Copies of this chain bind each other. A is one copy, B any other.
Amino acid sequence: MSRAETSRRGSRPGRAGIRDVAAAAGVSITTVSDALNGKGRLPDATRRHVREVADRLGYRPSAAARTLRTGKSGLIGLTVTTYGDEPFTFTEFAYFAEMARAATSAALARGYALVILPATSRHDVWSNVALDGTVVIDPSDQDPVVSELVRQGLPVVSDGRPAGSLPVTAWVDNDHEAAVLGILDHLADAGARRIGLLTGTTTDTYTHLSTTAYLRWCERVGQDPVYEAYPAHDPCAGAVAADRLLARPDRPDAVYGLFDPNGTDLLAAARRYGLRVPDDLLLVCCSESTVYANTEPPITTLSLKPRRIGTAVVQLLIDAIEGVESDHPVEQVIPTELIVRTSSQRRSPRTTVSPPRSPGQA
């Protein structure tokens, strides 16, 4: 024992180990471990005493040793898709930030921390961190990262319905088709005759499902599709695409934009063409940003509820990690929320749909 003491002193003068605490408290290593972890059956006096000594010595258990022994690291990977060199795209900023924030909080509340891992990370980096499980955002079909993780026996929960036969443990997503159909109906109700779509060229599930839903809706109501697609990760391309859409001979009288910056892009394009919103052009875009509450005019947005998604994803993952029989279903659909503002209300609000009021009221 004294040998251990000595060798430890030599190795790391700054940090105290469990051995040092045991020696200082006059008990065994096991007793220290049990006292600090609330395990075993020890008299409260011993427990208190050990805790006191540990505090005095500034003892912090080595995370590495604990992880090695228990097989649990308390770390959850947050894998974000990458376009080009940078992790997560510009268009997803607000969504991603909100989602990550909620996920961080939820994980923290259950004693876990999040590790950011871009999908294009070098193998050696993310196989070099001990994860208990991983959250994957919008995994592509046959995502090599996911299959590798699953092969290692780690639970994987995805934000976004997994494409193809990706073997994720669970997933959470919005009902994107229903959301698009709801918006199109909303615009049609507001008087839109020809609804256009600003969409992306990428092949992710969100873009694909939304575009398909649009095309099917068009077919159902007998409208020719009017849409422009652009690479969503390029912040400049959006403005150009918005311009193209409004410059078409079959110019739409309402537009839904799938990505966050589309609102301002479309608004700017409309101004260039002298179109008044909402009189000449109805506008809706998918965004989590609150700037659209204060634009001129305020723009109707679709919120994907990233906070609920982030929370749900983490809960599912931790349930899987801890082997909790999921009281949650393994496939969760989070409802979207349409925040109706001026840009999508041609008729002055409530005038025609509400019951008549007394003339005195504004």
Is A250's beta carbon under 8 Å from chain B? no
Contact status B105-A291, CB under 8 Å? no
Within the assembled complex, what's the spacing in Å between the Cα atoms of A113 and B113?
A: 13
Question: Which residues of B sit under 8 angstroms from A264, Cβ to Cβ?
Answer: 291, 294-295
Which of B68, B93, B101, B113 makes the CB contact (< 8 A) with A117?
B113
Contact status B239-A265, CB under 8 Å? no
Is A73's beta carbon under 8 Å from chain B? yes
Contact status A74-B235, CB under 8 Å? no
Contact status A66-B128, CB under 8 Å? yes
Contact status B66-A62, CB under 8 Å? no
Q: How far is the CB of A12 from chain B (nearest CB, A)?
A: 8
Question: Which residues of B sit under 8 angstroms from A294, Cβ to Cβ?
Answer: 239, 261, 264-265, 267-268
Within the assembled complex, what's the spacing in Å between the Cα atoms of A163 and B53?
A: 32
Question: Which residues of B sit under 8 angstroms from A271, Cβ to Cβ?
Answer: 296
With A118-B108, A291-B264, A291-B291 given, is the CB distance from A126 to B101 under 8 Å?
no
Question: Which residues of B sit under 8 angstroms from A62, Cβ to Cβ?
Answer: 68, 130
Q: How large is the interface on A (under 10, 10 to 19, 20 to 34, 35 or more residues)?
A: 35 or more
Which of B73, B101, B116, B290 makes the CB contact (< 8 A) with A86?
B101
Contact status B125-A291, CB under 8 Å? no
Question: Which residues of B sit under 8 angstroms from A125, Cβ to Cβ?
Answer: 74, 108, 111-113
Report which residue of A61, A68, A151, A265 has the largest number of chain B beta carbons within 10 angstroms of its beta carbon.
A68
Which of B58, B122, B129, B290 makes the CB contact (< 8 A) with A235?
B290
Is A355's beta carbon under 8 Å from chain B? no
Question: How many copies, total?
Answer: 2
Within 97-137 of A, Cβ neighbours of B (below 8 Å) are at: 97, 100-102, 104-105, 108, 111-118, 121-122, 124-130
Contact status B14-A63, CB under 8 Å? no
0/1 interface trace, chain A 1-31, chain B, CB 8 Å (1 if under): 0000000000000110000000000000000
With A65-B68, A296-B267 given, is the CB distance from A113 to B129 under 8 Å?
yes
With A65-B68, A93-B93, A265-B294 given, is the CB distance from A116 to B118 under 8 Å?
no
Report which residue of A61, A114, A294 has the largest number of chain B beta carbons within 10 angstroms of its beta carbon.
A294
Is A145's beta carbon under 8 Å from chain B? no
A-B contact pairs, 10 of them (CB 8 A): A62-B68, A63-B73, A68-B68, A93-B97, A96-B97, A97-B97, A111-B124, A113-B125, A113-B129, A264-B295
5 smallest A-B Cβ distances: which pairs? A64-B67, A64-B68, A63-B130, A264-B294, A268-B294
